[in-house]
């Protein structure tokens, strides 16, 4: 069992090619993608290419699989994207692909682990993210992790027949250290 960072409910570990079937299932699932920017069908070839790209792009994208500790099952992905080593910032992305694991604290723990890694191992200064305005669960989860709203891009996305606002949130290392 490969463990990169260990929590009390989850482990963070590298994504493997053997994870591709699960990834294909999740990125095509309507209930999951309604909260994400994905709107196209994704096949095995697309996901294999993505997994392959992770090995080549580690200076800008660091992605982990989220594994439940108890069942030792991959339940989602989390990553630091568009890492900017000059401004020392990155954009966080996450999804829990297995529906029965949502709303039970797994996302919060995975995010807290990645924040710690970003600030204490990658030496980042700021983590940003964006979330669709109707995604109440994600907004609550991010706030619990210490993210604060910076601003709104009005009608930045088109979802389910409507234009929706995109909320930008961030956390600074200096504020996280105080918590
Ligand atoms: C967003 C996501 C990562 C959060 O992870 P999670 O494990 O489900 O979240 P947590 O259980 O740690 O925290 C969610 C909080 O929101 C609450 N919540 C759940 N559903 C809610 C809802 N409909 N409205 C408001 N709050 C809600 C939970 O009760 C919990 O708060 P609490 O700990 O105070 O009780 C996960 O739900 C997910 O992947 N969703 C689908 C994809 C997605 O939205 N990705 C993020 C895109 S920006």
CA 69 to chain centroid, in Å, comes to 18
Gap from CA of 6 to ligand 1 centroid (Å): 21
Q: Chain-wide mean pLDDT for the chain?
A: 97
Write down the pLDDT at residue 101: 98
**Helices 136-144 + 106-120 axis angle, to 10:** 50
Write down the pLDDT at residue 1: 83
Q: Tell me the mean pLDDT in the region 33-51.
A: 97
The helix/strand/coil state of 162 is strand
Q: Superfamily for 5-127?
A: Gcn5-related N-acetyltransferase (GNAT) (3.40.630.30)
- Quote the tokens at residue 10: 């989850």
Q: Is 160 in the pocket of ligand 1 (CB under 6 A)?
A: no
**Residue with CA nearest ligand 1 atom 44:** 35
Q: Answer whether residue 114 shows pLDDT above 90.
A: yes
Sorted by where each begins, the domain ranges of the chain are 5-127
Q: Tell me the mean pLDDT in the region 100-113.
A: 98
To the question of pTM greater than 0.95 for the whole model, the response is yes
Gap from CA of 31 to ligand 1 centroid (Å): 13
Residues 94/139, Cβ–Cβ less than 8 Å = no
């Amino acid at each position: 069992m490969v463990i990169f960072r260990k929590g009390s409910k989850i482990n963070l570990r590298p994504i493997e090619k053997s994870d591709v079937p699960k990834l294909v299932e999740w990125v095509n699932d309507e209930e999951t993608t309604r909260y994400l920017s994905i709107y196209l069908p994704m096949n095995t070839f697309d996901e294999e290419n993505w997994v392959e790209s992770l090995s080549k792009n580690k200076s800008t994208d660091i992605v982990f699989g989220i594994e439940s500790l108890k069942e030792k099952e991959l339940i989602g992905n989390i990553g630091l994207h568009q890492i900017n080593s000059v401004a020392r910032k990155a954009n966080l992305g996450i999804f829990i692909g297995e529906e029965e694991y949502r709303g039970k604290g797994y996302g919060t723990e995975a995010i807290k682990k990645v924040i710690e890694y970003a600030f204490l191992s990658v030496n980042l200064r700021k983590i940003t993210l964006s979330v669709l305005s109707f995604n109440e669960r994600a907004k609550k989860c991010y706030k619990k992790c210490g993210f604060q709203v910076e601003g709104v891009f009005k009608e930045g996305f088109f979802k389910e027949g409507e234009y929706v606002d995109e909320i930008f949130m961030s956390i600074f290392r200096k504020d996280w250290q105080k918590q």
